[in-house]
């Protein structure tokens, strides 16, 4: 499906997205998903997974503020999604900073996410390569992580999306790049996490590669529009939410290279 059709479907279908995300991201992720036209729900308790995950259009898992009860919820939810063919998206935030986080990311990867979205350092390090990541922020270029993305996509049968100044997406065979956005985007915390949550909404409505590509394009279009009005990261955030809601379906194809 072409990205513009997927944006229309997200708005028409208003899919319910189960988000297990981090404390930093919860508010902006929910606002981003709502502004784009879908319905987010932040649900973390292990006791709720069996009831909630099966009724959602998609699941998104983000390990940004990991702890043991959340890890149990993540594994249970990903196992449920995989067993029921519910699309699910993994955001391996800063997984290279500790053995605990690294093992959790690898365990989740083995549960076959439909899409993995991360910055270049996060994707590079998923293959075991030492990158230059600095906590949640990238220290590597998108170009440097493209080989890792292709290898991971082929090994795990998933779509890998790397974000940065120019985004890159591959399923191991096909690839695309997405241009635009603004250097202010990485200066607003958890915007990448919010993008992962939105990718769940797109994955609920269409095939994995197309869904990842449409999400990347929607963010780039909205980021470029917000940058024209913003005075800095604070007002950028406000204008970005407005721009996500105002993005026209036909705009998406213009940022795909």
Ligand X SMILES: Cc1ncsc1CCOP(=O)(O)O
Chain contacts with Mg ion (rule: CB under 5 A):
93, 192
C-alpha to C-alpha distances, 22 to 29, 104, 121, 193, 254, nearest whole angstrom: 10, 15, 19, 8, 32
Instruction: From 115, 114, 116, 121, select the one nearest 164 (Cα to Cα).
Output: 121
Asked if residue 190 belongs to a known ligand binding site, the reply is: yes
Provide the β-strand partners of residue 175: 170
Q: What is the DSSP letter of 256?
A: B
Has 114 been labeled as part of a binding site?
Answer: no
CA distance 229 to 236: 7
**Measured from the CB of residue 167, what is the shortest distance to ligand ADP in angstroms?**
5
Beta strands 167-170; 159-163: pairing state: antiparallel
80/138 with CB nearer ligand X? 138
**42 among annotated binding-site residues:** yes
Map residues 176-205 to x or -, x wherever contact with ligand ADP holds by CB under 6 A.
-----xxx-xx----xx--x----------
Q: Which of residues 105-144 bind ligand ADP (CB under 6 A)?
A: 119, 137-138
The least distance separating ligand ADP from the CB of residue 174, rounded to whole angstroms, comes to 19
169 CB burial (10 A radius; 0-12, 13-18, 19+): buried
Paired residues of 163 in beta bridges: 119
Least CB distance from residue 138 to ligand ADP, whole Å?
Answer: 5
The binder of 185, among Mg ion, ligand ADP, ligand X, none, by C-beta within 5 to 8 A per type, is ligand ADP
Known binding-site positions: 42, 117, 163, 190
Residues near ligand ADP (CB under 6 A) are 119, 137-138, 163-165, 167, 181-183, 185-186, 191-192, 195, 219-220, 223
Known binding-site positions for ATP: 117, 163
């Amino acid at each position: 499906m072409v990205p513009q059709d997927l944006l229309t479907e997200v708005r028409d279908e208003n899919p319910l997205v189960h988000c297990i995300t981090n404390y930093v991201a919860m508010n902006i992720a929910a606002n981003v998903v709502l502004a784009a036209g879908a319905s987010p729900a932040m649900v973390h308790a292990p006791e709720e997974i069996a009831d909630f995950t099966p009724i959602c259009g998609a699941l998104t898992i983000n390990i940004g503020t990991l702890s043991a009860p959340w890890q149990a919820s993540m594994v249970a939810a990903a196992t449920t999604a995989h067993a029921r063919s519910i699309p699910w998206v993994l955001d391996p935030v800063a997984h290279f900073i500790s053995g605990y986080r690294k093992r959790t990311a690898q365990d989740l990867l083995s549960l076959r996410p439909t899409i993995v979205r991360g910055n270049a350092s996060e994707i590079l390090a998923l293959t075991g390569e030492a990158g230059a990541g600095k906590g949640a922020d990238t220290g590597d270029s998108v170009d440097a992580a493209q080989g890792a993305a292709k290898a991971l996509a082929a090994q795990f049968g998933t779509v890998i999306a790397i974000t940065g100044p120019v985004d890159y997406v591959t399923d191991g065979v096909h690839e695309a790049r997405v241009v635009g956005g603004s250097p202010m985007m990485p200066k607003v915390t958890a915007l990448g996490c919010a993008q992962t949550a939105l990718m769940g909404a797109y994955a609920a409505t269409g095939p994995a590669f197309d869904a990842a590509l449409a999400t990347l394009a929607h963010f780039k279009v909205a980021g470029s529009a917000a940058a024209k009005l913003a005075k800095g990261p604070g007002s950028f955030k406000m204008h970005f939410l407005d721009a996500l809601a105002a993005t026209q379906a036909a705009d998406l194809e213009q940022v795909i290279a």
